[in-house]
Amino acid sequence: MNVLVLNAGSSSLKGAVIDAQTGKRVVTLAAQRLGTPDATAQVGTRELRLGDTDMAGALDALLPMLVSASGRPVGVGHRVVHGGERFTAPTLIDDTVLEAIDALSSLAPLHNPANAAGVRAALSLLPDVPHVAVFDTAFHATLPRRARSYALPGDVVEAHGIRRYGFHGTSHAWCARQVADALKQDIRDLRIITCHLGNGASACAVEYGRSVETSMGMTPLEGLVMGTRSGDLDPGVLLLLMREAGLDADALDALLNRRSGLAGLSGTSNDMRDIEARAAQGDERCRLALHVFTHRLRKQIGAYAAAMGGVDAIAFTGGIGENSALVRHRTLQRLGFLGARLDEDANRDARVSADAPVARLDERNSRVALMAVACDEQREIARQTAALVAERDRVDNPMVIPIAVSARHIHLTREAVDVLFGSGHALTPYRPLSQPGQFACEEKLTIVGPKRRIEGVRVLGPERRACQVEVSRTDEFFLGLDAPVRDSGDVANSTGCTLIGPAGSLRLAEGVICARRHIHMTPEDAERFGVHDRDVVEVAVHSAGRDLTFGDVLIRVSPRYRLEMHLDTDEANAAEITGGHTGSLVGTSARAQLVRRGVGFDAAR
Ligand code: ADP
């Protein structure tokens, strides 16, 4: 299964046709200085002068050569740096995906536009082959909230979408899997710390197969010391530089991204080879660079071992991680307390390559496996692309359903409004709800149950023919009620409660229900999804670390509705749904067919 892997940069292109099963490179390609008069390229061993050409021109010239050398690929895998919150897995590319990649450019201004340009050019040249975007951020979609969040005020976080994403995900994923394979253990049984040390550097805590911490954050600037990037820095330093040195955002950007890190510390080079050589000759600044680099990495490893409650393997990858015995040696000093013991001879002699990607570095009695791993992002992209192409029918389902979470609320009759708020009182709209004509009101009531009461429960408008109080299971236990799970409007023989308003109280004989989960949709949506009114379906919800499939979901079709699935707060909490989540109908075969089954739920009623 040959896959074409492409990594389009702003002025360069790297690629390869790879047999996804064996990892064998059938042919490689590279192009440099695109957008200048001196663009050049290599296809296999062939050198070419491209002249004045851009990304599209280069692909136009090179792809036919690749196809004639290796045949038509089954798919094209594109490296895309930033997938934002939306892309948490490899994704088949269509126009909307491409637009979304463009829209994420503000988060990765140097990379996403170039990646998207590469995708566009390749799509136009190979339109009949599936194209897949593999995102650097996707592996870290499983970061728990505590690891994703910065300690900033909520309004600032929300206004600017500030959160930690993490990068180098493809490399960390590949590296962790190589470790598990080398140990002949299931990755789901291992706690692995992967250290990607190239020009950019990041570490990742891979707990039982999932990324739970990583050192890069909202941008690739956070974390370890890198070739030219500072990594972690007291934010107060930025304030000081702004105030005392008058640096603006661009100047800080240049300082922190291009003049810091190993280059800044050493004053000479961003290349670890130069730094090691000069340090050996006694250059103090280069010695310091080496010390800071390895000290910070060691701290990170210790922190990740603490975050995971232990560590089974530590792996080094990337140009420095694979090649620098000195960096590995210095980093692993003092980690004996974790049970990590380096075999100095094995470390010195370690050589890794695409064909033999793993070298063991640990002593026999080391409790922690230590390894150097050849970084092979291209192969991981080929693997993920091939897997997606093979399962294309199952996952090619762009038909997602937005999810809304309903907090506890109350619907009232005209008469009930009179009793609770005073005769002739008109409900005051507070904000419109997603379903047309419905609105949340300013008015709030207290629900009184046999055990306890809940205050401040919002009334929803407009008025209805029967009162209805919708609560979650947790509310029900709290109030001491036994409410049935019902469709909205179906309150006959349900439980009662007392409502207290500013003008009076009202005893309801019935009306308290736990709303059955449901999807509102228009007849057009129903046609698109291949479902009918009152069908019962399953909906899979993808959320970071708490994926959940909900059964017993009722389809409700009306031209008045807008497509939306409604869950209550208990259900949303179980899946850690906060906002902006979507679900998909569970698919069993081509294009996500629904599971239309008679459920016990209907029979029980
Ligand atoms: P990128 O992050 O750009 O993909 P690489 O992973 O290729 O970069 O890493 C490049 C870095 O690896 C170089 O800057 C250099 O510092 C380091 N490196 C390569 N070989 C060695 C070596 N033998 N010893 C120490 N460092 C090395």
The pLDDT assigned to 534 comes to 87
| Bridge partners (DSSP) listed for residue 192 | 206, 313
The pLDDT assigned to 56 comes to 87
Per-residue pLDDT, averaged over 275-295, amounts to 98
User: One of 60, 94, 136, 345 is an active-site residue; which one?
Assistant: 136
Which atom of ligand 1 lies nearest, measured to the CA of 262? 16
What are the tens digits of pLDDT across the range 432-483?
988 888 999 999 999 999 999 999 999 999 999 999 999 999 999 999 999 8
Residue 412 amino acid letter: L
Q: What is each CA distance from 213 to 146, 237, 315, 565, 604, in whole angstroms? A: 9, 25, 15, 32, 45
* Whether residue 533 lies in the annotated active site: no
The pLDDT assigned to 132 comes to 96
The pLDDT assigned to 531 comes to 86
> Residue 587: is its pLDDT beyond 60?
no
Q: How many helices (H) and strands (E) does the chain have?
A: 21, 28
pTM for the model:
0.70
Which atom of ligand 1 lies nearest, measured to the CA of 327? 25
Helical H runs in 309-376?
318-323, 325-332, 344-349
> Residue 544: is its pLDDT beyond 70?
no
Question: pLDDT averaged over the chain?
Answer: 91
Pocket-forming residues, ligand 1, beta carbon under 6 Å: 198-200, 227, 271-273, 276, 318-320, 323-324, 375
Distance 320 CA to ligand 1 centre (A): 5
**C-beta separation of 577 from 567 below 8 A:** yes
What backbone phi and psi angles, to 5 degrees, belong to 417? Answer: -60, -40
Distance 29 CA to ligand 1 centre (A): 20
At 209, is the pLDDT very low, low, confident or very high (cuts 50, 70, 90)? very high
What are the tens digits of pLDDT across the range 470-482?
999 999 999 999 9
The pLDDT assigned to 598 comes to 37
User: Closest Cα to residue 96, out of 128, 56, 122, 133?
Assistant: 133
The pLDDT assigned to 400 comes to 82
Within 8 A by CB and 6+ apart from 88, the residues are 138, 141, 542, 544
What are the tens digits of pLDDT across the range 220-269?
999 999 999 999 999 999 999 999 999 999 999 999 999 999 999 999 99
Which of 323, 326, 381 gets mutated to test ligand 1 (max ligand atoms within 8 A of its CB)? 323
Which of 272, 286, 290, 380 gets mutated to test ligand 1 (max ligand atoms within 8 A of its CB)? 272
**C-beta separation of 470 from 515 below 8 A:** yes
Residue with tokens 């694979």: 322
Residue 547 amino acid letter: D
Per-residue pLDDT, averaged over 333-339, amounts to 95
What are the tens digits of pLDDT across the range 99-156?
999 999 988 888 899 999 999 999 998 999 999 999 999 999 999 999 999 999 999 9
Region of 166 on the Ramachandran plot (φ > 0 left; ψ -120 to 50 alpha; else beta): left
Whole-number Å distance between alpha carbons of 261 and 264 = 5
> Residue 528: is its pLDDT beyond 60?
yes
Dihedral sign computed on CA atoms, order 503, 505, 510, 516: positive
The pLDDT assigned to 210 comes to 95
Query: What percent of the chain has pLDDT above 70?
Result: 95
Region of 246 on the Ramachandran plot (φ > 0 left; ψ -120 to 50 alpha; else beta): left
Distance 35 CA to ligand 1 centre (A): 26
The pLDDT assigned to 1 comes to 87
What backbone phi and psi angles, to 5 degrees, belong to 25? Answer: -80, 120
Which atom of ligand 1 lies nearest, measured to the CA of 199? 2
Whole-number Å distance between alpha carbons of 442 and 425 = 12
> Residue 396: is its pLDDT beyond 70?
no
The pLDDT assigned to 597 comes to 37
Q: What is the DSSP string of 87-117?
A: --S-EE--HHHHHHHHHGGGTSTTTHHHHHH
Whole-number Å distance between alpha carbons of 58 and 69 = 17
Distance 321 CA to ligand 1 centre (A): 8
